[in-house]
Each structure stands twice: as C-alpha cells, then as structure tokens.
C-alpha cells in the first residue's frame, strides 16, 4: 500500500470536483450556496495558484482519494503580520 500526498495538477480538476460533490451529496449538503454549485469547484488547480494558497491531493496506490487546501480569505480575523486563511476540508471517497 502506497499513500502519496502531492500538490494539485491541472489534470486533477475533474476528478477532485467529482469527489467533492459526491462527498457533499453523501452527507446531504449538496445545496445552493455551497461549493457543490460553485463553478470554481471545477477549476481548483487554477483557483489555488493564488499567492499563499495550496491544495493537496491524496492518492492511495495511484488512485485519488481526496484533497485538502489552504486559501487566503479576506475578512477573517487576524492581527497585523499574521496570515488568515480558510482550511478547505479533506473530502475523500470511501
């Protein structure tokens, strides 16, 4: 068994979007106003090219399981000189 954590690549967009939407639907939160309907869910590689952001993909034996990322977000509390960001949850296929 080989677990690998790596940064997202452009070719990951379609698969990770499918994993995210499948996970949200499984938990009954596939609702408007969530990432379920957000168009950026289909282009996470491009979205996470922002400075100070990163998205990781988890693979097991070469198969994508899910992902998790950090994204700088305006309006979050933080003191001068500190970095405030959203932690994008790890979503995985069972």
Tokens found for residue 50 = 């922002």
The full set of domains in the chain, from first to last, is 3-92 (3.40.630.30)
With vertex at residue 9, the alpha carbon angle to CA 29 and CA 57, rounded to the nearest 5 degrees, is 50
Q: Which of 88, 83, 74 has the alpha carbon at shortest distance from 20?
A: 88
pLDDT by residue (tens digit) across 9-64?
A: 999 999 999 999 998 898 898 999 888 999 999 999 999 998 788 999 999 999 99
pLDDT tens figures, 70-93: 887 776 665 555 555 555 565 555
| pTM of the complete model | 0.81
pLDDT at 72: 77
């Amino acid at each position: 068994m080989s677990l690998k954590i790596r940064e997202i690549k452009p070719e990951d967009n379609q698969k990770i979007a499918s994993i995210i939407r499948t996970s949200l639907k499984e938990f009954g939160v596939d609702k408007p106003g969530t990432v379920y309907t957000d168009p950026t869910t289909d282009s996470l590689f491009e979205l996470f090219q922002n400075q100070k952001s990163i998205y990781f993909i988890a693979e097991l034996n070469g198969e994508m399981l899910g992902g998790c990322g950090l994204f700088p977000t305006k309006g979050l509390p933080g003191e001068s000189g500190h970095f405030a960001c959203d932690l994008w949850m790890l979503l995985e296929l069972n």
